[in-house]
Copies of this chain bind each other. A is one copy, B any other.
């Protein structure tokens, strides 16, 4: 029997993986958090504020889940908020300078940086799994991007139409 059988790939996957697209590098919370930060950097400046409703509508992400995440971002100073009528979320002077990796640490913690792609606990450069170096290269490239890019840089990209936060 060849590596390709008559059953579909998804059939097989379902046996121990209900939905494949959850096998991602970062949590969903990180994606929501980053998009929210960039959205606030763009729309929550010059005295304007972004309500949770506006943000979750514009980004197409779950209202209450985003609420939790934005609350946490405020706690970490990524941007600010104020309660009450005409309240909402808004950028502070540091918002555009925040590095993406700061947001990653808030949502996903530090363990992201030294996991083994094959799930071997004590895998490291000196005692590597067979994919350690390939995966380290891949991840380090991504981490590098997250380390040099800021919320402000992404906001500029989005404002100039080079990239998009939704749809």
Contacts and interface: CB of A to CB of B under 8 A. Distances in A.
Interface string A72-115: 10011110000000000000001000101010011111111001
A52 to B, nearest CB: 15
A130 B157 contact: yes
Contacts of A30: 23, 118
B21 A17 contact: no
A120 B25 contact: no
Contacts of A19: 111
A14 to B, nearest CB: 9
Interface residues of A, number: 82
Contacts of A17: 27, 29, 107-109
A132 B116 CA distance: 23
Interface in A125-167: 127-132, 134-135, 137-139, 141-142, 145, 149, 154, 157-158, 162-167
A122 interface: yes
Interface in A1-44: 1-5, 9-10, 12-13, 15-17, 19-21, 23-32, 34-35, 38
Contacts of A3: 76-78, 94, 98, 102, 106
Contacts of A65: 16
A95 to B, nearest CB: 10
A10 to B, nearest CB: 6
A142 B142 CA distance: 12
A167 B120 contact: yes
A119 interface: yes
